[in-house]
């Protein structure tokens, strides 16, 4: 049965200050950004009904900027804007790749990066790139500003390190360096408009065909997105050869703890994690001429 929403009030503040005042004035509001997840959850009853603050029209939180080797993205920037941003395409191409695969064009036009972060699905496609780009989140409230690394923000399945009265205002990423290459990967049950069964992001810092450093993150295979330090360690200092890539891909199993669900079994997810990491490493190795 669908939950009727005719009794839900939606307030539309004119600026961020007004949002923060509303958030501090009483508990129980939910913030509405694109609404592509929240409205479905409200109607299904997965999220209890409450009044909403519609922040989707706040232009001041919609931007992509570059400063001091970093990229700052306003929380209400849509995935269409991220996918088309010249700054993202140039300095964080793995995030542009991920943005392109999020749902459909319709979803990309409304869904925001802040919404994806706060909705906290372990399968969220923007998160693996944010993990390997050492994203920092800017949380603002009337009491001040807190900056937090993305992996500290998620404490468990949909458990966030956010306080009442706080608003996620900005995501800051490091720009990929000159020697760095990377790709986002996604396995869905359909080519487009699908929720990820396994997704991930890989960055390799290369010196010729030798890996100086590696950053690997996977989604949909644990209660939160996870980094894969064991796989990263296998690659570090080695040449991108067949046996190294296979060993690193197998090592990813030490970092993940998938479950059975409607989109796939835990065993299937384990196998897909290894295979996709392997395919992605091969793709990168081929692109740089290492194999």
Partner 1 sequence: MIKPTTMSRRIEKEFRFFLNGKAMTVRAPPCHTLLEILRYELRMTGTKEGCARGDCGECTVLLNGEPVHSCLTVMTQVEGKNVTTIEGIDPEHRLVRSFVEAGAVQCGHCTPGLIISSYALLLKRPRPTEEEVKEAIRGNLCRCTGYSKIVKAVLSAAGV
Sites of contact with partner 1 (CB under 8 A):
2, 5-10, 12, 32, 34-36, 39-40, 42-44, 52, 54, 56-57, 80, 103-107, 109-110, 191-193
Burial class from Cβ neighbours inside 10 Å (0-12, 13-18, 19+) for residue 174 reads: middle
Residue closer to partner 1 (CB basis): 34 or 114? 34
Residue closer to partner 1 (CB basis): 51 or 271? 51
Q: What minimum distance in Å lies between the beta carbon of 112 and partner 1?
A: 12
Q: Report whether 171 contacts 75 (CB < 8 A).
A: yes
Residue closer to partner 1 (CB basis): 2 or 243? 2
Q: Residue 67 forms beta bridges with which residues?
A: 70
Report the 10 Å Cβ neighbour count for 222: 16
Tokens found for residue 226:
């996870």
Helix (H, G, I), strand (E, B) or coil at 201: strand
CA distance 94 to 48: 35
Q: What minimum distance in Å lies between the beta carbon of 13 and partner 1?
A: 11
Residue closer to partner 1 (CB basis): 32 or 202? 32
Residue closer to partner 1 (CB basis): 5 or 267? 5
Q: What minimum distance in Å lies between the beta carbon of 41 and partner 1?
A: 10
Residue closer to partner 1 (CB basis): 195 or 256? 195
**What does DSSP assign to residue 33?**
S
Q: What is the largest CA-CA distance in the chain?
A: 62
Q: What minimum distance in Å lies between the beta carbon of 274 and partner 1?
A: 27
Q: Which residues neighbour 54 within 8 Å (Cβ) at sequence distance 6 or greater?
A: 10, 11, 12, 32
Q: What minimum distance in Å lies between the beta carbon of 133 and partner 1?
A: 25
Half-sphere exposure of 172 (CA within 13 A, CB side): 14
CA distance 205 to 236: 9
Residue closer to partner 1 (CB basis): 84 or 230? 84
Q: What minimum distance in Å lies between the beta carbon of 121 and partner 1?
A: 14
Burial class from Cβ neighbours inside 10 Å (0-12, 13-18, 19+) for residue 230 reads: middle
Residue closer to partner 1 (CB basis): 40 or 159? 40
Q: What are phi and psi of 103, to 5 degrees?
A: 50, -130
Distances (CA, A) of 176 to 94, 173, 212, 235, 271: 9, 9, 14, 18, 29
Q: What minimum distance in Å lies between the beta carbon of 7 and partner 1?
A: 4
């Amino acid at each position: 049965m669908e939950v009727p929403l005719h009794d839900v009030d939606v307030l539309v503040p004119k600026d961020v200050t007004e949002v923060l005042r509303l958030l501090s004035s009483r508990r129980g509001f939910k913030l509405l950004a694109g609404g592509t997840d929240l409205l479905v959850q409200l109607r299904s009853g997965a999220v209890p009904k409450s009044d909403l603050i519609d922040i989707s029209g706040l232009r001041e939180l919609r931007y992509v900027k570059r400063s001091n080797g970093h990229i700052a993205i306003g929380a209400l920037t849509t995935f269409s804007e991220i996918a088309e941003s010249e700054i993202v395409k140039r300095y964080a191409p793995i995030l542009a790749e991920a943005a392109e695969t999020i749902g459909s064009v319709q979803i990309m036009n409304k869904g925001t990066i802040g919404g994806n972060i706060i909705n906290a699905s372990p399968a969220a496609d923007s998160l693996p790139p944010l993990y390997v780009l050492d994203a920092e989140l800017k949380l603002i409230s009337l009491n001040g500003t807190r900056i937090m690394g993305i992996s500290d923000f998620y404490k468990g399945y949909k458990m966030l390190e956010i306080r009442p009265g706080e608003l996620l205002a900005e995501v800051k990423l490091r720009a990929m360096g000159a020697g760095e290459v990377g790709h986002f990967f996604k396995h869905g049950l359909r080519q487009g408009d699908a929720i990820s069964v396994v997704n991930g992001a890989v960055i390799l810092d290369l010196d010729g065909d030798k890996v100086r450093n590696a950053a690997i993150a996977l989604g949909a295979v644990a209660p939160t997105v996870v980094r894969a330090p064991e796989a990263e360690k296998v690659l570090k200092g080695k040449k991108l050869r067949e046996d190294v890539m296979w060993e690193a891909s197998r090592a990813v199993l030490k970092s993940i703890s998938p479950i059975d669900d409607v989109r796939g079994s835990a065993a299937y997810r384990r196998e897909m994690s290894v295979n996709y990491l392997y395919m992605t490493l091969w793709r990168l190795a081929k692109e740089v001429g290492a194999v």
